[in-house]
C-alpha cells in the first residue's frame, strides 16, 4: 500500500507586488514531519501560494498519495477545474503561466487529493503553513540585507490587475477557462456561497448588539488574539454554546492546562454566527499532547495567559447551556482555570449537556467517539489530522443536531405556537364517513364469468379469481 502524506501549503506577501514567502508543512507516516519554506524579493501572494504547492509536492515521493490543504481558492480551483481550459487556449490571458506549468508538471503521474480550508480559522496545520510562509519572508529579507540576494522584479504584477476592457459586465469575466481572476475576488465568491463569515477584522456588515460590541471591543483591547465573532442572525431564545477545549494533557489535578478554547453560539437549533476562539499560553510545555492537537510551545509563546483572558471568556460563556462531548473533561479544566483566576466556577453559572452521555443512551454498547458519531450520522467530513477546538465544536454542532433532531412543525415559528394550538396539531380529529357500496349488475357478473372461463382455456390453469 502506498504511503499517504498530508501537506498544508501557504503563501505570504508584504505588498502586491512585494517581498514574499512560501511555506509547506508536510506530515508523513509515523509522525515524520518536514517544514520547508522560501521566498522572493519581488513577487505576489498568488505566486507564493503556487510556489508553496509546487515545492511541497516536489518534496514528496512520486508513488505517495498526497492530501493537500490550501486556503487559496485560486490554487485549488485552478489546478482542479480551470487548468485544462487554459491549456486548450495556450495559456492566453492567464497570469503566472510559468508557475501553473510547473505545478501541472509536478502533479503528473501522482495521486493527489486537493482540499480547500478556511484560512486563519485556528486549524493547526494551516497556521503552521502560514508561519512557515512568513518565516520565508523573514529569511528573504535577511538575505537582502546581507547582500546575498539581489532584488529583481521577476515580472511580478499585482494580483488584482485587470485589463481595462474587462471592466464592462461580461459573462467572460466569470469564465474560469478564459481569465485568471484575482484571488481576492474568488475568495469573496466562495465565502458568499458557503456563508462563511471572515472574523479577523470584525468589520461585519451586520448589526451587532451593544453588549456584544462592548465585549468584542473589550476583548480586542485586552489582547488582540482573542477572536470573538458577532452574530449574523438576530435570534431570541436561550443560548446554547457548542464548546471544545485543547489541553496539555488529561489530568487537571496534575497541573495540565488549557491551551485552546473554541465555542459556537446556537439559539433555537440554529447557529447564530457568533463564536469565540482563543489560544492560551499554558506556562508549561505541551509535551506529547502536541501529537494530538498539533499546537507547539513555539506557537503558544506569544499567546495570552489564562488570567489575561478569563474575564472575557467568562462573560461570553456565563448563563448559556454548555454542550460538549465528554463534558466532564472540559468542565473540570474550565472550572479549575476560572477558579485560579479568582472567578466562579463555570458550573455555577451554566447548565451542561454531555453529548457523550447522550450518545451512550441512544447507542448502548457502540463506539460513541466524535469520529464514530460523524460516521454514524453521516456528518460532512472535515480534515481532522489535528484536533482543533473550534473545528471540533463545529463538527459537534452537526452531530448534536443530528442526535437530537426530531419532527418539527413546518412553516410555523415554534416560538409563537401556544399550547392549545400545539394540542390541536398534535391530535387528529376522528372523521365519520359512510362509504357507499356499489354492487355489480347481472350483465357485469356474466361478463366476468366468461372472462374467467376464457382465461382457464387459454392458460390451462384456474384463474386466481376463481380459486
Which residues define the annotated binding site for a divalent metal cation? Answer: 244, 246, 392
Known catalytic membership, residue 120: no
Grid cell 426530531 — which residue? Answer: 406
Annotated binding site for substrate: 244, 246, 293, 392
Residue of 123, 277, 325, 387 marked active site = 387
Q: Are 341 and 305 in contact (CB under 8 A)?
A: no
Burial of 160 (0-12, 13-18, 19+ CB in 10 A): middle
Listed in sequence order, the residues at least 6 apart from 240 whose beta carbon sits closer than 8 Å to its beta carbon are: 265, 266, 267, 320, 321, 323, 353
3-state helix, strand, coil in the chain (%, to 5): 45, 20, 40
Annotated binding site for Mg(2+): 10, 49, 71, 130
Distance CA 250, CA 272 (A): 31
* Alpha-carbon torsion angle 148, 153, 159, 160, nearest 10: 140
Q: Are 58 and 144 in contact (CB under 8 A)?
A: no
Distance CA 270, CA 49 (A): 35
Burial of 366 (0-12, 13-18, 19+ CB in 10 A): exposed
Listed in sequence order, the residues at least 6 apart from 219 whose beta carbon sits closer than 8 Å to its beta carbon are: 226, 228, 309, 312
Helices 355-362 and 327-340 pack at an angle, to 10 degrees, of 170
Annotated binding site: 10, 49, 71, 130, 244, 246, 293, 392
The closest alpha carbon to 319, from 237, 257, 245, 209, belongs to 237
**Which uninterrupted H or E stretch holds 10?**
strand 4-15
The residues annotated with a catalytic role in the active site are 387
Amino acid at each position: 500500500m502506498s504511503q499517504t502524506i498530508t501537506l498544508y501549503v501557504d503563501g505570504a506577501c508584504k505588498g502586491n507586488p512585494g517581498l514574499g514567502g512560501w511555506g509547506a508543512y508536510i506530515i508523513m507516516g509515523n509522525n515524520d514531519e518536514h517544514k520547508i519554506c522560501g521566498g522572493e524579493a519581488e513577487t505576489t501572494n498568488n505566486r507564493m501560494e503556487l510556489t508553496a504547492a509546487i515545492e511541497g509536492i516536489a518534496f514528496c515521493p512520486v508513488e505517495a498519495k498526497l492530501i493537500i490543504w490550501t486556503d487559496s481558492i485560486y490554487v485549488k480551483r485552478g489546478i482542479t477545474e480551470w487548468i485544462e481550459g487554459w491549456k486548450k487556449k495556450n495559456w492566453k490571458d492567464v497570469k503566472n503561466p510559468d508557475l501553473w506549468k510547473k505545478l501541472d508538471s509536478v502533479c503528473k503521474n501522482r495521486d493527489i487529493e486537493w482540499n480547500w480550508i478556511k484560512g486563519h480559522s485556528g486549524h493547526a496545520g494551516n497556521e503552521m503553513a502560514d508561519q512557515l510562509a512568513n518565516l520565508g519572508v523573514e529569511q528573504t529579507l535577511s538575505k537582502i540585507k546581507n547582500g546575498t540576494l539581489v532584488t529583481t522584479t521577476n515580472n511580478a504584477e499585482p494580483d488584482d490587475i485587470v485589463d481595462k476592457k474587462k471592466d464592462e459586465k461580461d459573462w467572460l469575466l466569470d469564465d474560469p477557462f478564459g481569465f485568471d481572476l484575482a484571488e481576492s475576488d474568488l475568495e469573496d465568491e466562495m465565502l458568499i456561497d458557503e456563508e462563511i463569515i471572515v472574523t479577523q477584522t470584525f468589520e461585519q456588515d451586520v448589526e451587532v448588539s451593544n453588549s456584544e460590541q462592548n465585549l468584542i471591543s473589550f476583548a480586542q483591547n485586552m489582547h488582540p488574539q482573542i477572536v470573538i465573532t458577532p452574530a449574523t442572525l438576530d435570534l431570541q431564545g436561550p443560548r446554547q454554546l457548542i464548546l471544545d477545549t485543547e489541553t496539555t494533557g488529561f489530568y487537571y489535578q496534575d497541573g495540565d492546562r488549557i491551551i485552546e478554547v473554541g465555542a459556537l453560539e446556537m439559539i433555537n437549533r440554529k447557529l447564530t454566527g457568533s463564536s469565540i476562539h482563543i489560544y492560551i499560553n499554558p506556562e508549561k510545555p505541551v509535551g506529547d499532547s502536541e501529537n494530538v492537537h498539533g499546537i507547539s510551545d513555539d506557537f503558544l509563546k506569544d499567546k495570552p495567559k489564562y488570567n489575561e483572558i478569563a474575564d472575557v471568556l467568562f462573560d461570553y460563556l456565563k448563563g448559556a447551556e454548555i454542550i460538549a462531548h465528554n463534558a466532564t473533561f472540559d468542565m473540570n479544566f474550565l472550572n479549575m482555570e476560572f477558579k485560579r483566576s479568582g472567578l466562579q466556577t463555570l458550573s455555577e453559572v451554566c447548565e451542561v449537556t454531555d453529548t457523550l452521555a447522550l450518545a451512550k443512551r441512544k447507542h448502548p454498547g457502540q463506539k460513541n467517539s466524535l469520529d464514530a458519531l460523524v460516521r454514524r450520522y453521516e456528518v460532512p467530513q472535515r480534515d481532522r489530522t489535528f484536533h482543533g477546538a473550534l473545528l471540533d465544536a463545529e463538527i459537534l454542532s452537526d452531530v448534536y443536531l443530528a442526535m437530537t433532531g426530531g419532527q418539527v412543525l413546518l412553516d410555523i415559528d415554534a416560538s409563537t405556537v401556544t399550547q392549545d394550538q400545539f394540542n390541536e396539531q398534535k391530535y387528529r380529529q376522528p372523521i365519520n364517513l359512510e362509504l357507499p357500496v356499489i354492487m355489480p349488475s347481472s350483465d357485469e357478473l356474466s361478463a366476468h364469468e366468461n372472462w374467467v372461463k376464457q382465461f382457464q382455456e387459454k392458460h390451462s390453469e384456474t384463474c386466481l379469481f376463481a380459486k
